Amino acid sequence: MTDSVTTADQVTEYLKNHPDFFINQDELLLKLKIPHERGVAISLVERQLQLLREHNLELRSRLGKLMEVARDNDRLFEQTRKLVLGLLESQDLEQATEILKDGLEQDFNIEFHSLILFTHQPATLTIREENPDTADEILGDLLTGFGDKQASGQKVICGRIKPRELEFLFPDNHKEIGSVALAPLNFPKNVGVLALGSRDESHFRASMGSLFIGYLSDVTSRVLSRLVDATRSDG
């Protein structure tokens, strides 16, 4: 007769398949001991309670983080809504640029920002104007992919950029900036860029989400296109 040896894996598998095995096995539960990290053996019941407490704390921590993210998203939505409505209600370029400036600085705590329009026919607007050929020469690869894409295909670039590019985008503060988010203003065509800057080198990074920045550039490009045309017509 061959002796049958029960392995640890078999016991484990059996208990997995029979999770109610220990019901009405109080005496057995109290006899089972599990080594503790402090070196003192504890009963299976105590170990289960400990695991449940730890799992509960982990769930509470996750819930807290989810609630924090939800609050941040609500705040971001309200700030974005306020800024977008202000831009849409702007009557002229000066008002639009002032609303954009105040929103970025006061509501979103953006340290540096730059709004640049590309044109071969500057009209002395209240917004900085640059020759598109000059912008293409300096920004080079940063503008590749912007082109005349529709809003849904816009590309937002986040991260660190070259000193010459920084100096073009932020002529007065380029030495203070560690990272940048660059979004195209391309409605109905490539009319310029919106650049946001931070002293923190990791604030704007390639892996971050760019939904807000892309959405803001969509709205800004449409508002500016309308107001620039109106200004030039009046002129």
Co-location of 21 and 129 in the same domain:
no
Model confidence at 138: pLDDT above 80? yes
Domain of 224 in residue numbering reads as 92-234
> 44-88 vs 93-102: helix axis angle to the nearest 10?
160
pTM value > 0.75: no
Number of domains in the chain: 2
Lookup result for tokens 């006061």:
106
Tokens of 111: 């340290």
For 31-80, write each residue's pLDDT tens digit. Answer: 666 666 555 555 666 767 777 888 888 999 999 999 998 898 898 889 99
Residue of higher predicted confidence among 153 and 5 = 5
For 192-219, write each residue's pLDDT tens digit. Answer: 899 999 999 999 988 777 788 888 999 9
Co-location of 63 and 128 in the same domain:
no
CATH of residue 155's domain is 3.30.450.40
Banded model confidence at residue 106, pLDDT cuts 50, 70, 90: very high
Among 72, 89, 106, the domain-final residue is 89
Among 89, 118, 137, the domain-final residue is 89
